Amino acid sequence: MQEAKTKINLSKLSDEEIISLVKEGKSQYYEVTMRRYNQRLYRVAKGMNIIDADCDDIIQQSFINAYQKLSQFKGESKFSTWLTRILINECLMHKRRKKLVINEDILENPEVMEKAFNQTNNSPEKDMIQEEMKKILEEAIEYLPEDFRTVYMMREVEEMSVKETAECLNISESNVKIRLFRAKAVLKNYLERYLKPGEIFEFGNWRCDAVVEGVMKFINGQPKLL
């Protein structure tokens, strides 16, 4: 009974309170932070054009990087913002290694988006089930230019504020609004009216568990934080 009570209390603690406990040597509490933000990091990674097969490793490495740099977190920004920046940097390094080519001219050719949409749904029906539409929307979003897709994922899917999105991407708040407007302009004629963005790119329980297990295995093999 006592253990269950502890878990309930932990769920009510702020990020900063959890991190303070971790810094005090209670590294097991880092799991709470990972479970809070696995979903966000996955969605931001997808927004940055990371293929699904690479997302888990990148998220796990981002949490490891954050743990190793906890002494650098001074609370000048929200922990979630600081963590998201680490994820973004890890994505950028991954892409440099992979030398991915991003198609930046999609807005010049909206027919490319329409063709891709039609290919994913050769027999559209009025009463198409929700899961099928989620899959189509996810595929359509991946055709957006990276700058617009990242902002769309952070603002519409993960529901981050304009301010935090701007801080994470190191751009102005007005730029965030412009990119979101353009992203939605590309998508709205096809899909946006069918779904709530917050329901897509879900990071399933087994994947979340695997990332947590991998990071905690690393942490348990390290000396305690000073």
DSSP string, the chain: -HHHHHHHHHHHS-HHHHHHHHHTT-GGGHHHHHHHHHHHHHHHHHHTT--HHHHHHHHHHHHHHHHHTGGG--SSS-HHHHHHHHHHHHHHHHHHHHTPPP---GGG-HHHHHHHHHHH-SS--TT--HHHHHHHHHHHHTTS-HHHHHHHIIIIIS---HHHHHHHHT--HHHHHHHHHHHHHHHTTTTGGG--GGGSS---HHHHHHHHHHHHHHHHTSPPP-
This prediction's pTM: 0.64
pLDDT digits (tens, 9 = 90+) for 89-111: 999 888 877 754 444 444 445 55
Does 96 share its domain with 113? no
| pLDDT in the model for residue 177 | 94
DSSP secondary structure string for all residues of 142-185 = TTS-HHHHHHHIIIIIS---HHHHHHHHT--HHHHHHHHHHHHH
Does 111 share its domain with 151? yes
CA distance 91 to 85: 10
Domain around 62 = 13-101+204-220
pLDDT at 34 over 70: yes
> Is 177 part of a structural domain of the chain?
yes
Whether residue 58 contacts residue 92, with contact meaning beta carbons closer than 8 Å, is answered with no
| pLDDT in the model for residue 176 | 95
Question: Exposed, middle or buried by CB within 10 Å (0-12, 13-18, 19+), for 121?
Answer: middle
> Is 4 part of a structural domain of the chain?
no
> Is 132 part of a structural domain of the chain?
yes
Does 40 share its domain with 66? yes
Q: The domain spanning residue 135 has which CATH number?
A: 1.10.10.10
Handedness of CA 73, 57, 153, 186 (dihedral sign): positive
Does 37 share its domain with 89? yes
- Side-chain-side CA neighbours of 114 within 13 Å: the count stands at 6
pLDDT digits (tens, 9 = 90+) for 155-168: 998 999 999 999 99
- What's CA 11's distance to the chain center, in Å? 21
Which residue shows structure tokens 């087994």?
206
Does 38 share its domain with 93? yes
**With bands split at pLDDT 50, 70 and 90, how would you rate the model's confidence at 129?**
very low
Q: The domain spanning residue 211 has which CATH number?
A: 1.10.1740.10
Does 188 share its domain with 208? no
Does 92 share its domain with 128? no
pLDDT at 134 over 80: no
